[in-house]
Structure 1
Amino acid sequence: MDSEIPYSLPDTVPGMTLPNVVLFPQATIPLFIFEPRYRKMLAQVLEGDSLMILATQDQERARHEDTFEPYHPSATLGLVQSSQKNPDGTSSILVQGLMRVTAETTYQEDPFRIFSIQPVHSEPGASPLELEKHANHLNALVQRRSELGSKISKEILRFFEKIDDPEILADVVSHSLIPQTDKKLQLLQTLVVQKRYEILFEYLRNEIRELELISKLKGNLGEDRIGWN
Structure 2
Amino acid sequence: MAAELRPRRRKADTPHAAEPVPPLAKLRIGRPFRLLGGLVAPEVDAVRTVLDALERVRIFPLPSSVLIPGGHLPLHVFEPRYRKLVADALAGDQVIGIALLEPGWESEYEKSPPVRPIMGVGIIRAADRMVDGRFNIVVEGVVRARILEELPAETPYRLVRAEHVPDRIPPEKEAEIQSQAQLLRRLAVDLAAALPDASGRAFAQACIREKNPGRLADLAGAAVLIDARERQEFLEETDVSRRLRMASDALAQTLLHVVGGGIPG
> How high is the TM-score relative to the length of structure 1?
0.78
| Aligned residue in 2 for 1:5 | 48
Aligned positions of 1:1-229 closer than 5 A: 4-5=47-48, 8-58=52-102, 60-62=103-105, 66-68=107-109, 69-108=113-152, 111-126=156-171, 127-145=173-191, 147=193, 153-205=200-252
Per-residue deviation, residues 190-222 of structure 1 (Å, max 9, x unmatched)? 11111112223344445656777x58xxxxxxx
Provide the rounded CA distance (Å) in 1 between the counterparts of 2:196 and 2:226: 13
Cα contact 1:33–1:39 (8 A) shared by 2:
yes
| Larger RCO (CA within 8 A; separation ≥ 6) | 2
Q: For the structure 1 residues 148 and 44, does the alpha-carbon distance in structure 2 shift closer, same or farther, using more than 3 Å as the test?
A: closer
What amino acid sits opposite 2:147 in the alignment?
A
What amino acid sits opposite 2:156 in the alignment?
P
Cα contact 2:74–2:137 (8 A) shared by 1:
yes
Per-residue deviation, residues 51-107 of structure 1 (Å, max 9, x unmatched)? 11111122x2336xx433432111011112232222121122221111110123332
Per-residue deviation, residues 113-147 of structure 1 (Å, max 9, x unmatched)? 11221221111135544323211101222333455
Identity rate, percent: 21
Per-residue deviation, residues 5-55 of structure 1 (Å, max 9, x unmatched)? 256344111120112111111222222221111111112212222211111
Provide the rounded CA distance (Å) in 2 between the counterparts of 1:10 and 1:180: 27
Per-residue deviation, residues 135-185 of structure 1 (Å, max 9, x unmatched)? 110122233345566985322222222212111110011111111111111
Q: Secondary structure at the match of 1:93?
A: strand
> How high is the TM-score relative to the length of structure 2?
0.68
User: Aligned residue pairs: how many?
Assistant: 209
Q: Secondary structure at the match of 2:184?
A: helix
Provide the rounded CA distance (Å) in 2 between the counterparts of 1:211 and 1:34: 34
Cα contact 1:74–1:188 (8 A) shared by 2:
yes
Provide the rounded CA distance (Å) in 2 between the counterparts of 1:138 and 1:156: 12
Q: For the structure 1 residues 210 and 52, does the alpha-carbon distance in structure 2 shift closer, same or farther, using more than 3 Å as the test?
A: closer
Cα contact 1:33–1:92 (8 A) shared by 2:
yes
Q: For the structure 1 residues 159 and 205, does the alpha-carbon distance in structure 2 shift closer, same or farther, using more than 3 Å as the test?
A: closer
Cα contact 1:17–1:56 (8 A) shared by 2:
yes
Provide the rounded CA distance (Å) in 2 between the counterparts of 1:32 and 1:16: 12
RMSD: 2.8
Question: Could you tell which deviates more after superposition, 156-165 or 198-207?
Answer: 198-207
Provide the rounded CA distance (Å) in 1 between the counterparts of 2:243 and 2:196: 21
Q: For the structure 1 residues 153 and 48, does the alpha-carbon distance in structure 2 shift closer, same or farther, using more than 3 Å as the test?
A: same
Provide the rounded CA distance (Å) in 2 between the counterparts of 1:45 and 1:4: 16
Q: Secondary structure at the match of 2:66?
A: coil
Provide the rounded CA distance (Å) in 2 between the counterparts of 1:130 and 1:136: 10
What amino acid sits opposite 1:17 in the alignment?
P
